Structure 1
């Protein structure tokens, strides 16, 4: 797919925006090697933070792996105990997530100016990996919005969809390490409630009116509104390793409370204070520490008892 010249404008209008060739060949090679090792370990039950086949939303049960289920994703790439190859002294996932070029794009989409110290209100959120189902069986996600349940009325959808007069409170992205056509979405659906046709469609409808298959080459980057109407289709025999992350902005108040449900349901709050940023350069490490601090503050502001799951299934 071609590049979109103004990422924020395209995202606001269409609900997604593509930046081609975001990764260098060297970065791509390093991330492929680390991802392959991590997927192998996780599919053998040696890393508990996984997405199990047959289940779309959290929580997932790692005890099913490998005897009763495969995996279609690996969670918590910033975790301090993430198993990396012995010849990989630094965490390339940490280096990517906090890289100046990725955070610069995130700032632009979140309408955040960078101050002289680079400490500009960004919030550390999620960083996961999506992969080919390791049980060899194709796996499909139903049509959904990440933080609005299927049962929501049109009025409820209107209330929770993004308002173009306001800055985004967070941004979400996919970064494939191999050719990827798994993401299917309906452009513009992030701005409106579902139509009657969309509401009545089968949850796994293969050809929803207006849908677009997002074709990405290795190293391309796509940002998308997580409440756009979308689904995923994963082949059991086609290579897939796609990094999947999000970054937020510290706006405080009710906006932070609403966002907490989508972020903290994944369990990141259990280890974030122990995350290791020693592989980063000084300025990048300072930015990372600030982003971590704001995530911890978000968790404290919400309270553990208030965090539930956005969707079920």
Structure 2
């Protein structure tokens, strides 16, 4: 079954062993150093515990002092190992399935997010959610958004075994059931839920409005790259979900010197599409609260 067919049916699709060998080891080294850098207070843009959604508290001498579960802005010009992350984001292993899933050409792609999800400092779970539809939405409001094209390919690339992502297959095609709507936000088990068990080097692409959550164990190492790319036709729909992560403050300083000439041209075009999205969108606020 083709990737797009699986994504449309289930709301997610796994690409096994997309990164192996030296590529995988280089990314492990880079993410370990970046995480240590962030935990020591040297990188201000982090996902702080126990907050699930942006904006995160990033002021004070060490924003990571009370614990983190992610590091933001891997392509930021001041990020250690930025070249390694840029080569990963624009790699064939990411771009090729993205083009297949979005059914578009490279000219249609919009540069979006690239972050890192890490082992939290204590037990931490995300509540059940859709990334850009609030829990307060009525069934009619859910369907209004779900019936529109996703216009993005969102993915997780695990560098170690990662059983953190829990999804309800097919929930991107419908409003929540009465059981789902009435459930505790941190309900351990919902009908038909599935734990996506990822091996090192696997990528899972998923519709970000599938009903999903994350469950994280502080005793288990986690380095999972978390990114997305958009379709230019969905700029209006995607603007808030993307721009709430603060890319506007540094996107103009981004260099693609680590890429070869062909990939650099693609990257420049994707960035230009992102800049235009930001110019057209204005102040976007935040998608979700909490």
Please tell me the TM-score bracket, short chain as reference. Answer: over 0.9
- List gaps (5 residues or longer) in structure 1: 85-89, 114-118
Alignment partner of 2:203 out of 212, 221, 224: 221
- List gaps (5 residues or longer) in structure 2: none
Is residue 107 from structure 1 mapped to residue 99 from structure 2 by the alignment? Answer: yes
Does the 8 A contact of 1:100 with 1:284 survive in 2? no
Equivalent in the alignment of 1:173: 155
Q: CA deviation at 1:68?
A: 4.4
d(CA) in 2 for partners of 1:67 and 1:230? Answer: 26
Is residue 74 from structure 1 mapped to residue 71 from structure 2 by the alignment? Answer: yes
Which string of whole-angstrom CA distances, capped at 9 and with x for unpartnered residues, describes residues 208-229 of structure 1? 1110000000000100000000
TM-score (norm 2): 0.97
Equivalent in the alignment of 2:19: 23
d(CA) in 2 for partners of 1:266 and 1:30? Answer: 26
Equivalent in the alignment of 1:271: 250
Alignment partner of 1:309 out of 276, 286, 290: 286
Distance change in 2, residues 1:281/1:68 (3 Å): closer
Which string of whole-angstrom CA distances, capped at 9 and with x for unpartnered residues, describes residues 240-278 of structure 1? 000000000111xxx321210100000011111111110
d(CA) in 2 for partners of 1:152 and 1:301? Answer: 26
Paired residues in the alignment total 289
Equivalent in the alignment of 1:127: 114
d(CA) in 1 for partners of 2:223 and 2:136? Answer: 31
d(CA) in 2 for partners of 1:82 and 1:111? Answer: 32
Equivalent in the alignment of 2:90: 98
Equivalent in the alignment of 1:87: none
Is residue 236 from structure 1 mapped to residue 218 from structure 2 by the alignment? Answer: yes
Query: RMSD over aligned Cα, in angstroms?
Result: 1.3
Which string of whole-angstrom CA distances, capped at 9 and with x for unpartnered residues, describes residues 75-129 of structure 1? 0111011023xxxxx611100101123111100000114xxxxx42111000000
Equivalent in the alignment of 2:144: 159
